Amino acid sequence: MKTGQYGWGWHSENKSTFTDKPILLDLGLVKLNFSKNMYSSPLDFASNVRLVFENPMLYNPKTDEVHGMAHQLLFYFEMLFRQIQAKLPTNQRVNEFSAVYEFD
């Protein structure tokens, strides 16, 4: 995701467009946490990835380019994560998706 068409918006050095709303998490930190085995389950990992895209959607208007990119990347992530979730034991599955994403 970091190298594709919208990759420029998700590197660890990005700052929030709202000075009072810092980006709490980015894909660089998710990757670092993953490499250090900081996630106890795939659901914890998914929660952090969702947060990366939910923050710009919450703090930028729908007309903003970053909001649109976050929306598309969150949709893409959810489609990929469905495949992973299908392989998880039943007691580790979650039937909900991002709270800010509206599936059409």
68: its two tokens: 């649109």
**What are the residue ranges spanned by the domains of the chain?**
22-88
Q: 0.75 cut: is pTM over it?
A: no
Q: How confident is the model at residue 6 (pLDDT cuts 50, 70, 90)?
A: low
Q: Residues 46-104: pLDDT tens digits? A: 999 999 999 999 989 999 999 999 999 999 999 999 998 888 887 666 655 555 545 44
Q: 65, 63, 48, 76: which is closest to 8 by C-alpha?
A: 65
Q: What is the pLDDT of residue 87?
A: 87
Architecture of the structural domain at 22-88? Up-down Bundle (1.20)
Q: What is the pLDDT of residue 26?
A: 87
DSSP 39-89: -SSHHHHHHHHHHHHHHHHHHS-TTSHHHHHHHHHHHHHHHHHHHHHHTS-
